[in-house]
Structure 1
Amino acid sequence: MKAIDVALLPVIPAIILLHLLVAPYTKVEESFNIQAAHDIITYGVPLRNTTLLQSYDHSTFPGAVPRTFVGALALAGYAGGVIKVVGNQYAQLIVRGLLGLFNAVILYNYASGLRKAFGRDVGRWYILFQASQFHVLFYASRTLPNMFAFGLTTLAFKQFLPVPGRDAAAIQMKQQYGIFLFVLSGVIFRSEIALLLFAQLSVLLLQSQISLQPTITAGILSAIVALGISVPIDSFFWQKPIWPELAGFYYNAIQGKSADWGTSPLTYYFTNSLPRLLLNPLILLLIPLAFTLPSIRYAARGLVIPSLLFVTIYSLQPHKEARFIIYAVPPLTAAASLSASYIWTRRSKSIVYGLSSLILVGSITASFLISTAMLLISSLNYPGGDALTQLHSIIKTHHTAPSSSSNTNTTLTIHLDVLSCMTGITHFQQTTHLTPHLHLAYDKTESPPEVLLDPEFWNTFDYALMEEPGRAIGKWDVVGTVFAYAGMELLRPGDGTSFGEGLERVYAANNITKLKSKSKSDSKTEEGDVDGKDGEGEGQQVPSSEEVQEEAHILEGQKEHVPWDEEREREKREMSDLKTRLMLEEMGRFGTFRLVRDAVRIVTGGYWFGPRMEPRIRILRRVVAGG
């Protein structure tokens, strides 16, 4: 193995782990498997006491369709021992890291297959192209069903690569193994892989590279094995006979429910998803180039046609997401690598090949830079995970200070709203014991609506993470603000920034239930019905559910008219204090971002094009009488 091959060996796993560390939180699409892995690690597999399954997340939040536990069970099995050694604080990173490394090994294994089939340079260019793409490596450690299937389908594609010197029997065995991997991933993880298998086998049959009868036999045996894995495991965890992928296929494809999540044009995968997945624009030129070069034309057909046929057929499904066709990226990238290798090996033969080689190297460098920028921007999309991490720090500071009774057992309750749960919060993060004497309890109630409009419901919480602070009924202080990516912005000389926008709306939302509550309690005091004490004492009147519904329009900027000037002055002072506190806090948290942006604007004379950040989640602390 040459020095360059040794240098390329750790590139893909290192970048996958870098993506994991820069963006450690998860989105709602990943939640089932990450929560299931947590539950298996925490509670084990309760073969004797199945009532423990009621503690699993899927018992409370089953999702629209059932998902398989096979991937989560495998991850939990491998991660459990490592977590016992390094500690629970790194559990989520370990679980995701194992999946990422699994996919990294498979990608390198595929590159090794390309080297054996087409030459060493093809394998090298494949690693460079693949490593400089963003989406595959970003998703590689994410517990999406697609990424459990991705490694299996990539390994399956390798089995259909030509291997010089192999006899017919060995080639047939490799093909049957490839069929098994396709069927396994389709039956257990993602049913659309049936289309990928159909596309691959159709091309091979038309080219007379595979026989029909062995193919059918291999497919049936593979399906029996895959069902023998999925059905018993998933029937146990769901406590009913079930084949999750069949249920998902019926819900999404037969009933057409996937369209409820949005639809895209027929050409979306070709005009949007594939260019983004491949990233490097030269790949879109290198793929058709391979079809024009006689020495690599045949090999390119075997790589490209099945993948594009799969994407074409799957385009008939109205709901489209890039991750649904991510399996096509390795073979398409491999086809581009064939052309790149062809050009590179002739770089000294003519100035055209020499310049083309320089352009190829430059495109790899540019793709790495773009991928890095995309990673940094994507890491700003997880305000929920960031908010809970910040809340834990706030609680530690506030409740373990020398003035607090740190030796007294204290339990704090925290409400997590929908956006927080969808953008990063998992059970791995929900630490129940911050210190030996400080315990935390979490609530994720999101329905029915009347519960969230009940003042007594909110009186049970000490803290809340809220996208709309005004929905937290009662008196609350904003003790933290979490920003998130809100698109790109172009600033010109003299333009302000998106920083600190919307504070007036935040103030109105945070005080939505205060003014009427105060005026009612004052009125009651004058009538002698209460003792006039401030706070949450026995005599305080809080708004009813109907009153909160009526006042909800204030959130859109309407403000209740207060008939006395003193109250307006108080509001102005509080607004000023809030602005000052939030601006100072936000400057500290996003200081690096601000420094970079301001430095760029100095160099460019006031121009800036980059991420626009806006407040997404407020960290609230309930105001307690005398607190």
Structure 2
Amino acid sequence: MSKLLAFLIYSTIPALILLHLLASPYTKIEESPTIDAVHDILAYGIPSPRLGADAVREHFQTQYDHFRFPGPVPRSFLGPLILAAVAKPFVWLDENVDRQLLVRAVLGLFTSFALLSYAKGLQRAFGRPVGYWYLLFQASQFHVMYYASRPLANTLPFAISTWALHLLLPEPDASPDRDRRRCQTALALLTIAGVIFRAELALFLATHTLYLLLARRICIRDTITAGIAGLAVGLTATVAVDSYFYQQFPLWPELTAFVFNVIEGESSAWGVSPWWYYFASAVPRLLLNPFTYLVCIPAALIYVRTPALSLITPSVGFIAIYSFLPHKEWRFIVYAIPPLTAAAAVGAGYFWTHRAKSPTFRLLSTTIFPLSVLVTLGVSLTIFLIPSVANYPGGQALRALQQQADGSRPHISVQLSNLACQTGATLFMSRPRSLGGTTWTFDKSDTIPPHRRSSSIPSRSLFDYLIGERDWLPDSDDEDTEWEIVDSTRAFAGVRLLRPGEDPNDIGGCVVEDTIAAVTGELGRAAYQLTRDILRGYVTRGYWVVLPLEEKLWILRNKKRVPLAAAALGSGTRKDPSTI
């Protein structure tokens, strides 16, 4: 394989991670503890202990968001601190840089570095074809590429665990002592990540430790040494840093989260899934390409059993044990996806290296598997990515308001509803790059619609704009209302099947159609509509699958505080309340 082709394959991972970042720059509520913590560190700095305990506490309580809006459990500040430290030099170079995009890019590139290191380790351990097939399979998976730059509580530990897994891969020329030291380092890293960031990594660590002991790559003493070292480093770091940021000593955030979610069972309030959910639903969706788990992994277990078992057994064991917890989300088991993908790559690599010995192997390795990668990547970039981009009405509404509001005003205040906060509105958006010296402040403490307020609640007239859901709209017959609707934003509303005779224009917008128009202009929209109508008329007999959009959030102007000219958001979408 030429060096150029190898370079292109290795470049695919970081390129796709950045593509997903640029296509979907906003965040959701699950990411807000991390992204808002990074914002506060960059915006307000870290107070020096020399200021005194009272001054430090006052700084945090008045400036930092986690004091004003604490979550159900504390989350470690070590991740945000690392991201802010890496991003800070770029902020010094360009004060107007999009900081949220910068921070997410730092996280995404860190994740891509871990994935590429893992691929290099596979290449050394099992040969170049395995490393290349791993990169192709991994790049075509939507969830890993899309969430690699997202500041979820699982993303940074995912990168650390992937780097640790790279150290567990065998090296052909390594001595037993070197292999043992690499295993110890990997176990220490997993311990650190579990202690600081995610407690579920304790199970991931346990299954890998047990397998290494059974394979006699380490001994009990090595395990204890690695565990003590990892526990000492992780616990010292998290207690020291987080006790300071939360002004509560001693504080171990992940222990608090573990007690809340597992011991007290509070995580079940977010939903309960059956035992088989991870194996029957989450893992196939994460791997995405059906050939990986229906053909390649079984082939690896048949033809290359020892390497395949070393990759599969600890990961499947981790998923099986974790399945006993009632609340399940795919991100809780994402750490097992690189080794499972690697096992599929081992199977595909075997077919490739033995393609001359069997027509079936040749067909699979030269035609079917490459086509499956292309099809899976296409599905990832269309069926998965396009609807995901349309899932952030809060960020889109706030950005639309900031881009078209009066930039000459020194201060603009906005009241945000729950949905706006949950779907993209973050503290980083209080520094829009295009509005000169305008200062934006957001308030998210009040979730009662304007027309349902009682006299005991402070007046919303203090705000220039509101961004809220349908129940925030003023009554159509209320002539004395101080609020006027000036714009609205739409979001993905599921999947719908158009039947014969139904007009596509009646669904209120289509994700695919709008995305094509955004990229190619109205000519592209017209071409899509023509193609759709032809296929409906001559191929599908009138049926057509659409991804509809519906209005989710509205921007309301305070008529007493903001002149009409400054509030005309210009896209022709202003609506009278009576028409909605």
TM-score normalized with structure 1 length: 0.81
Task: Please give the alpha-carbon distance, in whole angstroms, between the structure 1 residues aligned to 2:518 and 2:122.
Answer: 46
How far apart are 1:220 and its partner, in Å? 1.2
Which residue matches 2:3? 2
Q: Does the alignment pair 1:108 with 2:116?
A: yes
Task: Please give the alpha-carbon distance, in whole angstroms, between the structure 2 residues aligned to 1:586 and 1:129.
Answer: 26
Contact persistence 1:290–1:338 (CA under 8 A): yes
2:486 to 475, 479, 490: 479
Q: Does the alignment pair 1:73 with 2:81?
A: yes
Contact persistence 2:164–2:189 (CA under 8 A): yes
Q: Provide closer, same or farther for how the CA distance between residues 368 and 180 of structure 1 changes in structure 2, counting only shifts above 3 A.
A: same
**Which amino acid counterpart does residue 247 of structure 1 have in structure 2?**
T
Q: Provide closer, same or farther for how the CA distance between residues 277 and 171 of structure 1 changes in structure 2, counting only shifts above 3 A.
A: same
1:282 to 287, 291, 297: 291
Task: Please give the alpha-carbon distance, in whole angstroms, between the structure 2 residues aligned to 1:161 and 1:122.
Answer: 13
How far apart are 1:332 and its partner, in Å? 0.3
Q: Provide closer, same or farther for how the CA distance between residues 499 and 180 of structure 1 changes in structure 2, counting only shifts above 3 A.
A: farther
User: 1:244-259 residue pairs with structure 2 within 5 A?
Assistant: 244-259=253-268
Q: Does the alignment pair 1:465 with 2:473?
A: no
Contact persistence 1:65–1:247 (CA under 8 A): yes
Contact persistence 2:25–2:101 (CA under 8 A): yes
Which residue matches 1:365? 374
How far apart are 1:599 and its partner, in Å? 3.4
**Which amino acid counterpart does residue 336 of structure 1 have in structure 2?**
A
Q: Provide closer, same or farther for how the CA distance between residues 165 and 410 of structure 1 changes in structure 2, counting only shifts above 3 A.
A: closer
Q: Provide closer, same or farther for how the CA distance between residues 110 and 438 of structure 1 changes in structure 2, counting only shifts above 3 A.
A: closer
2:279 to 270, 275, 281: 270
Contact persistence 1:498–1:613 (CA under 8 A): no
Contact persistence 1:451–1:457 (CA under 8 A): no
* Alpha-carbon displacement from aligned partner over 1:141-188 (angstroms, at most 9, x marks no partner): 011111110011111111211111211111110010011110011000
Q: Does the alignment pair 1:341 with 2:343?
A: no
Contact persistence 1:490–1:609 (CA under 8 A): yes
Contact persistence 2:96–2:433 (CA under 8 A): no
Contact persistence 2:27–2:392 (CA under 8 A): yes
Gaps of 5+ in 2: 476-480, 565-580
Moved more, 225-234 or 209-218: 209-218
1:205 to 206, 210, 213: 213
Task: Please give the alpha-carbon distance, in whole angstroms, between the structure 2 residues aligned to 1:187 and 1:498.
Answer: 53
Q: Does the alignment pair 1:185 with 2:193?
A: yes
How far apart are 1:412 and its partner, in Å? 2.9
**Which amino acid counterpart does residue 35 of structure 1 have in structure 2?**
D
**Which amino acid counterpart does residue 620 of structure 1 have in structure 2?**
L
User: 1:365-444 residue pairs with structure 2 within 5 A?
Assistant: 365-373=374-382, 374-395=384-405, 399=406, 406=408, 410-431=410-431, 435=435, 438-444=438-444
Q: Provide closer, same or farther for how the CA distance between residues 500 and 388 of structure 1 changes in structure 2, counting only shifts above 3 A.
A: farther
**Which amino acid counterpart does residue 32 of structure 2 have in structure 1?**
S
Gaps of 5+ in 1: 401-405, 503-584
Task: Please give the alpha-carbon distance, in whole angstroms, between the structure 2 residues aligned to 1:419 and 1:498.
Answer: 26
Which residue matches 1:313? 321
Moved more, 466-475 or 307-316: 466-475
Contact persistence 2:272–2:326 (CA under 8 A): yes
Q: Provide closer, same or farther for how the CA distance between residues 460 and 8 of structure 1 changes in structure 2, counting only shifts above 3 A.
A: same
How far apart are 1:417 and its partner, in Å? 0.6
How far apart are 1:434 and its partner, in Å? 6.1
**Which amino acid counterpart does residue 274 of structure 1 have in structure 2?**
V
Task: Please give the alpha-carbon distance, in whole angstroms, between the structure 1 residues aligned to 2:109 and 2:431.
Answer: 26
Which residue matches 2:575? none
Contact persistence 2:414–2:463 (CA under 8 A): yes
User: 1:217-228 residue pairs with structure 2 within 5 A?
Assistant: 217-228=225-236
Moved more, 327-336 or 53-62: 53-62
Contact persistence 2:352–2:361 (CA under 8 A): yes
Task: Please give the alpha-carbon distance, in whole angstroms, between the structure 1 residues aligned to 2:37 and 2:226.
Answer: 32
**Which amino acid counterpart does residue 372 of structure 1 have in structure 2?**
L
Task: Please give the alpha-carbon distance, in whole angstroms, between the structure 1 residues aligned to 2:256 and 2:353.
Answer: 51
How far apart are 1:586 and its partner, in Å? 13
User: 1:586-625 residue pairs with structure 2 within 5 A?
Assistant: 595=526, 598-604=529-535, 605=537, 607-624=543-560
Paired residue secondary structure (2:554): strand
Q: Provide closer, same or farther for how the CA distance between residues 436 and 2 of structure 1 changes in structure 2, counting only shifts above 3 A.
A: closer
* Alpha-carbon displacement from aligned partner over 1:214-260 (angstroms, at most 9, x marks no partner): 21121012101111111100000000020000000000000000001
Contact persistence 1:481–1:586 (CA under 8 A): no
* Alpha-carbon displacement from aligned partner over 1:306-352 (angstroms, at most 9, x marks no partner): 00000000001111101110000000000000110111122233321
How far apart are 1:86 and its partner, in Å? 3.0
Q: Provide closer, same or farther for how the CA distance between residues 56 and 9 of structure 1 changes in structure 2, counting only shifts above 3 A.
A: same
How far apart are 1:470 and its partner, in Å? 3.7
**Which amino acid counterpart does residue 238 of structure 1 have in structure 2?**
Y
Task: Please give the alpha-carbon distance, in whole angstroms, between the structure 2 residues aligned to 1:419 and 1:28.
Answer: 9
TM-score normalized with structure 2 length: 0.87
User: 1:10-25 residue pairs with structure 2 within 5 A?
Assistant: 10-25=11-26
**Which amino acid counterpart does residue 461 of structure 1 have in structure 2?**
F
Identity of aligned residues (%): 42
How far apart are 1:2 and its partner, in Å? 2.7
**Which amino acid counterpart does residue 143 of structure 2 have in structure 1?**
H
**Which amino acid counterpart does residue 323 of structure 2 have in structure 1?**
S
Q: Provide closer, same or farther for how the CA distance between residues 284 and 437 of structure 1 changes in structure 2, counting only shifts above 3 A.
A: closer
Q: Provide closer, same or farther for how the CA distance between residues 432 and 18 of structure 1 changes in structure 2, counting only shifts above 3 A.
A: closer
Which residue matches 1:559? none
Q: Provide closer, same or farther for how the CA distance between residues 79 and 284 of structure 1 changes in structure 2, counting only shifts above 3 A.
A: same
Q: Provide closer, same or farther for how the CA distance between residues 176 and 10 of structure 1 changes in structure 2, counting only shifts above 3 A.
A: same
**Which amino acid counterpart does residue 12 of structure 2 have in structure 1?**
V
Task: Please give the alpha-carbon distance, in whole angstroms, between the structure 1 residues aligned to 2:172 and 2:463.
Answer: 68
2:95 to 87, 92, 115: 87
Contact persistence 1:28–1:421 (CA under 8 A): yes
Which residue matches 2:497? 490
Which residue matches 1:551? none
Paired residue secondary structure (2:493): strand
Q: Provide closer, same or farther for how the CA distance between residues 313 and 472 of structure 1 changes in structure 2, counting only shifts above 3 A.
A: farther
Larger Rg: 1
* Alpha-carbon displacement from aligned partner over 1:425-475 (angstroms, at most 9, x marks no partner): 111112379645644332212368999714762222221111125455834
* Alpha-carbon displacement from aligned partner over 1:393-433 (angstroms, at most 9, x marks no partner): 231xxx36xxxxx5xx5533211111000000111112379
Q: Provide closer, same or farther for how the CA distance between residues 212 and 477 of structure 1 changes in structure 2, counting only shifts above 3 A.
A: same
Paired residue secondary structure (1:598): helix
Contact persistence 2:517–2:525 (CA under 8 A): no
* Alpha-carbon displacement from aligned partner over 1:478-503 (angstroms, at most 9, x marks no partner): 2111111111112234213475659x
